[in-house]
Amino acid sequence: MVEMAADTWVELATGRIGWAEAVAEGRVQMSGVRADLSAYLPL
């Protein structure tokens, strides 16, 4: 499960923010073994 605001998703997809930074700032809520999307971002 991965949840975030739409603007966070756009920033992640475009590379304006990194996955680790978004998670550390609490902008991404996730759980589960496949919830780390860092290998797929930015698009």
- Cα–Cα distance for residue pair 10/17, rounded to 1 Å: 9
Which one-letter amino acid corresponds to residue 3?
E
Region 1-19 average pLDDT = 98
So what's the pLDDT on residue 16?
98
Q: pLDDT, tens digit, for every residue of 14-43?
A: 999 999 999 999 999 999 999 999 999 999
So what's the pLDDT on residue 5?
98
Burial (CB count within 10 angstroms: exposed 0-12, middle 13-18, buried 19+), residue 12: buried
E strand or H helix that includes residue 28: strand 28-30
So what's the pLDDT on residue 8?
98
E strand or H helix that includes residue 2: strand 2-4
